[in-house]
Structure 1
């Protein structure tokens, strides 16, 4: 296996869904890298944690619902999905999400896990 195949990618989501195209763009990039069997981890903090809340529907504001794409992660071997516990608490959100594989981490563990990746894309 070449060094290129061993590099890990972290995608950090910090914006609310449907506020702009950042959330959809991050999902698209994750799926592209996953389709090439590159290790991809998704991180959610700040307003990005809203992307994990169940029952959202972008059609109310005439936006395509990209959140349904999260269900495809398992087919692309995207299993490392992390959310910042502090961000959830600040927004009074429970740790129940529409994808089961989410791991809730405290701020220190979240930062350590994030910085352990070779490349970080921020959305």
Structure 2
């Protein structure tokens, strides 16, 4: 059986290539039926904010990549409750449905996966 992988995305979509790279890894892993999950942590939760206008920052829009995650079998999506609260984001307004986890649940989540990649 393939080892499970948790991808932790900690960067805002406009802060450099890390957010796109995390999504690319998730989509590639999903295409090969790798058991994986994706956690949006710290500024990474900004990727889930609705109504982004990346063109104004001369960036590419990540929305289509995010929306493709479930189609590629990446259905375990998580966000840190504290990260959402600190950035003024409400779980019911995000562009994707995610499981919102407190700090204790985050530790248990990370322990559940065989491998963890942080970008």
TM-score bracket, shorter-length normalisation: over 0.9
TM-score by length of 2: 0.93
- Correspondence for 1:58: 54
Contact 2:47 2:62 (C-alpha < 8 Å) held by counterparts: no
TM-score by length of 1: 0.90
Q: 1:68 deviation in Å?
A: 2.0
SS of the aligned residue for 2:59 comes to coil
Structure 1 residue runs of 5 or longer lacking an equivalent are none
Structure 2 residue runs of 5 or longer lacking an equivalent are none
Contact 1:43 1:114 (C-alpha < 8 Å) held by counterparts: no
Structure 1 runs of 4+ off > 3 angstroms? none
| Count of aligned positions | 118
* 1:1-123 equivalence runs, <5 A: 3=1, 5=2, 7-95=3-91, 96-100=93-97, 102-123=98-119
Over the aligned positions, Cα root-mean-square deviation in angstroms equals 1.1
